[in-house]
A and B are shown apart, each in its own frame.
Chain A
Amino acid sequence: MNVDLELVQRVQAGDKKAFDVLILKYQQRIVHVITGFVHDPVEALDVAQEAFIKAYRAIPNFRGDSAFYTWLYRIAINTAKNHLTSRARRPPAVDVDAMDATNFYDAPELKEFETPESSLMSDELKQTIHQAIQDLPEDTATAIKLRELEGMSYEEIAQAMECPIGTVRSRIFRARDAIDKQIQETMGEGE
């Protein structure tokens, strides 16, 4: 079963901690999407919080007909639009299909909020990750690329690389850990 769906079912069964995991998983994306509308990072946090709370209250109605993120994305977009309307501000004319939610960031109208500094930092992080992957052993680099760039499941990667699923999981973890360490170094975060 899909992990998101299992987490949703746990929330529906009364497990609020499962909702924490869904927040941890999607907060960065949701805040980024909302920032595209409200153009203010601090305001975006409040709107994102409101969107997650709405999602929690509506979660009994979630039946899994769409992916959880698609459903959450719709709530976030509506919350952002309502927020702008309540502030007598006009929502962006652009509308993005929820099914294209993961490609949302390509919409140029919604990238205006990026400052030169943040844009520079994003580029630097991408370069850091690229370099971190280059430095990995070939099998590990292939595993993380198939996972993150091709979107393949562990089972599909195991078939492609002709190795056990456990090995795939271990390789992806090592790659992810190495990438994380490089990101922390770039951002000046200490352990």
Chain B
Amino acid sequence: MTVNQNELLSALVDGELTGRELDDALHLLDTNEQARMQLQRYQRGSDVMHEHGLAHHQIDLTGRISAVIEDEETYSSITEANKNTAQIIAFPKQFWKQAASLAVAASIGALAVVGVMTQPQNQLVPTAQMASVEVETTPMVVAQTGKRWTVQEQEVEERLNNYLVDHNEYAGASGVFSYARVVSYDMGQ
């Protein structure tokens, strides 16, 4: 053991080594049994000064512990293994593109349904009062006797019918109670 090597170990006891010097110290301790003993003795002196231990019980647990952890995976290898596992189950980029497209399409579809459902239907749902206002001279054939609306204007009638058909198409998928079960065409129509 040279003076420089011992000085290196002394600095290691004080926690004053970094980088290259720490590499050198670790290499020295790995290859030189006398260096390990010297480090323990320096550490013992420090411990006694700090009353951190009983110097006359000189111990070395490194051999016993190294034997146990020798076959254990290191943290870095576990991390690497996890990375590999993650790569195996990772979805390809194409999947995410398709998923994104589907999500956009679904959003547009949902907006369409909501748009239809939130239309101010009370303006379109026929009521006796409404019919009586608009059609004064003709007798009404309206909801009281049948289950469907009767509107005189052809344009409004067609519009209502379209709404009804559209609603029926989406109602099942969205879980909304089908309005068509309440208002529908009369028997035979």
Contacts and interface: CB of A to CB of B under 8 A. Distances in A.
Given A16-B74, A169-B16, A23 B65 contact: yes
B13 A105 contact: no
Given A14-B76, A23-B62, A183-B55, A173 B50 contact: no
B96 interface: no
B54 A118 contact: yes
Contact of A56 (B15, B26, B42, B69): B69
A19 B69 contact: yes
A89 interface: no
A45 interface: yes
Contact of B66 (A16, A27, A28, A173): A16
A32 B15 contact: no
Interface string B61-73: 1101110111010
A63 interface: no
Interface in B5-38: 6-7, 10-18, 22, 25-26, 29-30, 36
Size category of the B interface is 35 or more
Interface residues of A, number: 60
A29 B52 contact: yes
A113 B13 CA distance: 28
Interface string A1-27: 111101100111111111111011101
B59 A183 contact: no
B29 to A, nearest CB: 6
A3 B22 contact: yes
B9 to A, nearest CB: 8
Given A3-B17, A31-B53, A25 B43 contact: yes
A154 B14 contact: yes
Interface stretch (A46-54, A80-88, A92-100): A46-54
Contacts of A173: 3, 6-7, 10-11
A28 B72 contact: no
Contacts of A170: 7
A32 B52 CA distance: 7
A126 interface: yes
Contact of A45 (B15, B22, B61): B61
B27 to A, nearest CB: 9
16 contacts: A3-B12, A7-B22, A13-B76, A14-B74, A16-B69, A19-B65, A20-B30, A21-B12, A21-B29, A24-B43, A27-B59, A29-B53, A53-B69, A56-B65, A105-B52, A177-B6
**Nearest 4 interchain pairs by C-beta:** A28-B53, A14-B74, A14-B76, A173-B10
Given A20-B29, A28-B43, A183-B44, 17 more contacts: A3-B15, A3-B18, A10-B26, A15-B26, A21-B29, A23-B61, A27-B60, A32-B53, A45-B61, A53-B68, A122-B54, A126-B48, A154-B11, A154-B16, A183-B41, A183-B55, A187-B56
Interface of B: 3, 6-7, 10-18, 22, 25-26, 29-30, 36, 39-57, 59-62, 64-66, 68-70, 72, 74-79
Interface of A: 1-4, 6-7, 10-21, 23-25, 27-29, 31-32, 41, 45, 48-49, 52-53, 56-57, 59-60, 102, 105, 118, 121-122, 125-126, 129, 147-149, 153-154, 169-170, 172-173, 176-177, 179-180, 183-184, 187
